[in-house]
């Protein structure tokens, strides 16, 4: 194996590892926010008079943590999507398990685990495609787009 292919393989492995680790952390953080919000809403009646603030804090943290893979891999759409989906699948599995402990969770939130999985995939897919399109636009703006010139027939070398 040549040095250049070895270096490329190492870089690819490091990017894959970074996507995996970021996805695992994102999934853990999203899970903690969800469990914290569910416990606060269902098991702490003292917070009921502050429901608006409690929910706003939960939503804000959730969106902030959802954006970790997007910000971390803004210029690498494949790693962004991979990392985000690892984290999102962890969240959805935990959401499904939470439905066993919190009765009517899916009915109250009007979202099944499958719907949550699809919504996350769509959101992260749009972010990854947006990142890719943005990179293509920046590339087009910084590099001239000139068609290759063909030699005219009269310029072609003459071979007997």
Banded pLDDT at 68 (limits 50, 70, 90): very high
Q: What is the pLDDT of residues 42-61, one digit of tens each?
A: 888 888 888 899 999 999 99
Q: What is the pLDDT of residues 70-109, one digit of tens each?
A: 999 999 999 999 999 999 999 999 999 999 998 899 999 9
What pTM does this model have? 0.80
Q: Is 132 helix (H, G, I), strand (E, B) or coil?
A: helix
- Find tokens 């891999």 and name the residue: 73
Banded pLDDT at 158 (limits 50, 70, 90): low
CB 83 within 8 A of CB 22: yes
CB 22 within 8 A of CB 73: yes
Q: What is the pLDDT of residue 45?
A: 83
Distance of CA 111 to the CA centre of its chain: 20
Q: What is the pLDDT of residue 152?
A: 62
DSSP state at residue 154: G
> Distances in Å between the alpha carbon of 77 and those of 72, 101, 133, 142?
10, 36, 10, 20
Whether 151 shows a pLDDT value over 80: the answer reads no
Q: What is the pLDDT of residue 90?
A: 98
Least trusted range by pLDDT, from 36-45, 113-122, 128-137: 36-45
Tell me the CB-side half-sphere exposure of residue 39, using CA atoms within 13 A. 6
């Amino acid at each position: 194996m040549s040095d250049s292919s070895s270096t490329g393989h190492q870089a690819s492995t490091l990017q894959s590892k970074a996507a995996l680790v970021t996805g695992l952390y994102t999934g853990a953080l999203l899970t903690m926010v969800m469990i914290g919000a569910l416990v606060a809403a269902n098991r702490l009646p003292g917070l009921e008079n502050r429901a608006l603030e409690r929910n706003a804090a939960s939503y804000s943290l959730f969106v902030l943590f959802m954006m970790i893979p997007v910000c971390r891999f803004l210029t690498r759409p494949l790693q962004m999507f991979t990392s985000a989906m690892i984290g999102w699948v962890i969240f959805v599995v935990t959401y499904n398990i939470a439905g066993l402990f919190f009765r009517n969770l899916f009915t109250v939130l009007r979202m099944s685990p499958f719907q949550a999985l699809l919504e996350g995939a769509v959101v992260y897919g749009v972010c990854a495609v947006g990142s890719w399109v943005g990179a293509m636009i920046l590339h087009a703006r910084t590099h001239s787009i000139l068609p290759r010139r063909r030699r005219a027939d009269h310029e072609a070398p003459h071979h007997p």
